[in-house]
Amino acid sequence: MKRRKESVGIPGIVSWGNNAMQRLSLLFLVSFSLAAPLDGQSMMMLSAGTNIATWGGEDAVSPGATLYQKTGLNVGASVLISITDNMGIQLGGAYSSKGKKEGDGGAISRIRMDYFELPVLLRTKIPSYRSAFSYHYFLGAAVAFLTKCSVTSPSASVTSCTETDLLRKSLDLGAIGGVGVDVEVSDAFSLIVDVVYNFGLSSIDKAGKDIKNRAFTMQAGIGFPIG
């Protein structure tokens, strides 16, 4: 009777056969398990930074005008809840100023839109061994509530968007991605620097025009272990 040929494998994980998907899966699992873990510690974070915002979509700029970026403030707080050794859920709230600037014949007008934003992010931290520096990346989504909308133009002072017939939706949805670095100053707190991109998913115009928020954020803050 012929002896059945057995594939070489790692017990308890996956058989190392001729299947390419099995090999890729095994490589992924081994790489994942070798990644330096989070210490399982949840964290409270406070941050502040600058938004570099503009609009996207087919109707983002007025006919004949040139679209420019607008800077604004971004201030927030968040809680990182550890769910595995190397991942966590980050829940936050932030004041975020967005909008755009556009020019027409040398005259610059500005639309400012202030939001209260609630992001939910999946955050992965990759510590550097024997170093106070570690790195992280995150992906997620955010819902934002419009708190104020104003227009500034050369021909008029600051006015409300409704007074200029700019009807904007009070709710905005966006996808968020970013990377950052943590610097452990002591056991009590860390310094955190993030670079974030917020890509608006839904139109913010009540009249049905294709206008979406875009914002690139550079922020710094501090984190405190909790729990």
The per-residue pLDDT for range 160-169, each reduced to its tens digit, is: 887 777 788 9
* Tokens describing residue 43: 């964290």
Per-residue pLDDT band for 84 (boundaries 50, 70, 90) equals: confident
Per-residue pLDDT band for 40 (boundaries 50, 70, 90) equals: low
- Report pLDDT for 128: 78
pTM reported for the whole predicted model: 0.78
Sorted by where each starts, the structural domains of the chain and their CATH numbers stand as 38-226 (2.40.160.20)
Mean pLDDT of 182-197: 94
- Report pLDDT for 185: 93
Give me the DSSP letters along 123-144. EEEEEPTTSSEEEEEEEEEEEE
- Cα→Cα distances 19→5, 7, 11, Å: 15, 11, 17
Check whether 10 has a pLDDT greater than 50.
no
Specify the higher pLDDT residue, 94 or 129.
94
Question: Could you give the CA distance from residue 39 to residue 95 in angstroms, rounded to a whole number?
Answer: 30
- Report pLDDT for 20: 45
- Report pLDDT for 22: 52
Per-residue pLDDT band for 8 (boundaries 50, 70, 90) equals: very low
Mean pLDDT of 115-136: 91
- Report pLDDT for 104: 79
The per-residue pLDDT for range 44-60, each reduced to its tens digit, is: 999 999 999 999 999 99
- Cα→Cα distances 139→62, 89, 196, Å: 32, 10, 10
